[in-house]
Amino acid sequence: MGGLAVLGRTYRHLNRYREVAAILTKHGFGDLLHVLKLDSHLEAGLHAVMKHPPVDAASRPERVRLAIQELGTTFVKAGQYLSTRSDLLAPEYLRELAKLQDRVPPFPGSEARHAVEKELGAPLSRHFSRFDLHPLAAASIAQIHAAALRDGREVVVKVLRPDVRRLVAVDLEIMTHLAGLAEKHLEAWRPRRPKAVVAEIARSLDREMDLSMEAAHTERFARQFADDATVRVPATHRALSSAQILTLERLDGVKPGSARALERAGLDPRVAAERLAAHYLAMIFTHGFFHADPHPGNILVQPDHVIAYLDFGMMGRLDRGSREALADVVFALSERDEARLARALLALADKNDEPDPHAFEADMAELMDQYAYRPLSEWRLGRMLEQLFQTTARHDVRIPPDLFLMVKALTELESLALLLDPRFDAVTACAPFVRRVHEERASPARLTERLTQAGRETLNLLASAPGELRALIQAARRGRLLIEFEHKGLEPTLAELDQISNRLAFAVLLGSLVIGSALLVHSGLPPHWRGMPVLGLAGFLLSALMAFWLLLAILRHGRL
């Protein structure tokens, strides 16, 4: 009954659950539904969709992408997030998930107008002289409309899709349940903590669906580049924005999708690539707050090679410690120093248990051998970092999610820069930023700050120690001192014991029923059928059915 209790939360979304099961089965994942025990917990009406249909010729990673695309908004966003997690999925799955397109038909412009008027509490004409009902772009979370303010300034208005929060909440509830079943029944996935991954996806989606958060991101990004004349950020119109709508200055420029397009506009692609790299490396190593989606649709090149950035819904953060450790990683790569590289990665990661240092360094050395004899210009920094994080995952060393987002952004930037300038060298471009991080870390001001912080923490520890020690002694005297032990790896054994005890209880009940039926037959208690007591015969029939059911359950699990 445990599975039914867990699934109970999703019963109110049964139609959507049925749709998810049908789409997974359609693309050849009926076996997965069986492994997750969904065929035991879902009502009989769902069993029909869980038969295994013929699977087309597409590979399994391709079928994963096609199923996710058909499942819609929440699953597409989850797939895009997973496409950055090289610690969770094999490269062939990462490549397929990276192809997921967040494109959906637009919703009616009249609904967008109604949403804007509702949020602003007034007719559109009070704030806008023009509002185009046909959207400029449509995505799964929101769509964008061109408009003009009363004073003639051109703006764009981003409008959240109607009812998107409820639809995402339903899918996240189903996704959380599936993740829980994966942790329970898929031993290989247990160390990857699927429920924690879904929780991270939920947090990311929650931020993306709050347009007031995107407004804050836009303003913070503008402040951090306020003194850089080569960066342009659209102005935010806070009075015309909320959690549901976002009004921004409309910017023009050339999308850096090709060198030829820039040249036609009188711009030098190499200068644009250099500017883009300088901006992104400053975001990562200097500010620790970076634009995480640098595809050409979110970037414009303006006259004098000013780079305009758009769409701040997906942002990443790196604290100072992570930036310093990342600088050490890049430096160790450039110096081909595997021991320093291993130490820097461990400083960067969330560690469960310390890995075997010799094995860890050996893997670092093996990875670096792939690049040791190549010139730096042939190195691909984003790909190298992705390989490093895959290696750390094999040693159960977990990397914080924002670092995977940083690798995705860096990889996309590197691809874009190489498109504009085939001679672009990311490692060389990093050098001045890495050097600056090292200089700042060794500066008197930074050393003083670290010593002050360490002294403050030591004083706090010394001040709290007597009270904590007194509390421990008092708890011990009262017999209330509790020491908790956490046993890991016992879940499969406990589940097996639970299954054994259930079968024993079932067998005892079955034996009792057989004995009781025999006594009834022997007693000759009426009514009779063909000279035999009906109650005794019914008992024997029920016993036979129960015995058959128990035998099927044993055979289904492959153990007689």
- Dist CA 290 CA 279 (whole Å): 9
pLDDT at 4 over 50: no
- Lowest mean pLDDT, pick from 31-45, 161-175, 493-507: 31-45
Please compute the mean of the pLDDT values over residues 265-279 and round it to a whole number. Answer: 93
pLDDT at 53 over 70: no
Closest CA to 212 of 187, 236, 188, 235: 236
Inter-CA distances, 29 with 26, 117, 191, Å:
7, 45, 22
Cis peptide before 106 (omega within 30 of 0): no
β-bridge mates for residue 143, sequence order: 138, 159
Residue count (the chain) = 560
* Pairing relationship of beta strands 245-249 and 154-160 according to DSSP bridges: antiparallel
Please compute the mean of the pLDDT values over residues 111-118 and round it to a whole number. Answer: 94
Residue 3's pLDDT band (cuts 50, 70, 90)? very low
Catalytic residues: 293
79 against 471, higher pLDDT:
79
- Dist CA 28 CA 142 (whole Å): 31
- The pLDDT value given to residue 278: 93
Dihedral sign of CA atoms 79, 80, 81, 82 in order: positive
β-bridge mates for residue 155, sequence order: 147, 249
- What spatial distance separates the first Cα and last Cα of the chain, rounded to whole Å? 23
- The pLDDT value given to residue 325: 86
H/E segment holding residue 137: strand 137-138
Helices (H) and strands (E) in the chain, counts: 23, 14
- Residue 284 DSSP label: I
pLDDT at 376 over 80: no
- The pLDDT value given to residue 541: 78
- The pLDDT value given to residue 110: 93
- The pLDDT value given to residue 488: 57
pLDDT in tens, 418-463: 889 988 888 888 888 888 887 777 767 666 766 677 676 676 766 7
- The pLDDT value given to residue 559: 54
Inter-CA distances, 128 with 11, 88, 125, 242, 247, Å:
45, 47, 5, 16, 11
Largest Cα span, the chain: 105
Interior angle at CA 325, CA 324 and CA 329, nearest 5? 120
Residue 101's pLDDT band (cuts 50, 70, 90)? confident
- The pLDDT value given to residue 212: 94
Q: In a 3-state reduction of DSSP, which class is residue 203?
A: helix
Where is mean pLDDT largest: 81-85, 207-211, 293-297?
207-211
Where is mean pLDDT largest: 19-28, 123-132, 201-210, 331-340?
123-132
pLDDT in tens, 211-249: 999 999 999 999 999 999 999 999 999 999 999 999 999
* Pairing relationship of beta strands 231-232 and 306-309 according to DSSP bridges: parallel
pLDDT at 56 over 70: no
Retrieve residue 388's tokens.
Answer: 């490093």
**What is the rounded radius of gyration, in angstroms, for the C-alpha atoms of the chain?**
31
Mean pLDDT, the chain, as a whole number?
A: 81
Burial of 57 (0-12, 13-18, 19+ CB in 10 A): exposed
- Dist CA 210 CA 158 (whole Å): 11
451 against 284, higher pLDDT:
284
Q: DSSP for 407-430? A: HHHHHHHHHHHHHH-TT--HHHHH
CB 487, CB 510: distance < 8 Å:
no
- The pLDDT value given to residue 555: 65
Retrieve residue 479's tokens.
Answer: 């017999």
* pTM exceeding the 0.75 threshold for the entire prediction: no
Alpha helix (H) residue ranges in 44-193: 44-47, 60-71, 73-82, 91-97, 109-120, 164-185
Q: In a 3-state reduction of DSSP, which class is residue 128?
A: strand
- The pLDDT value given to residue 45: 45
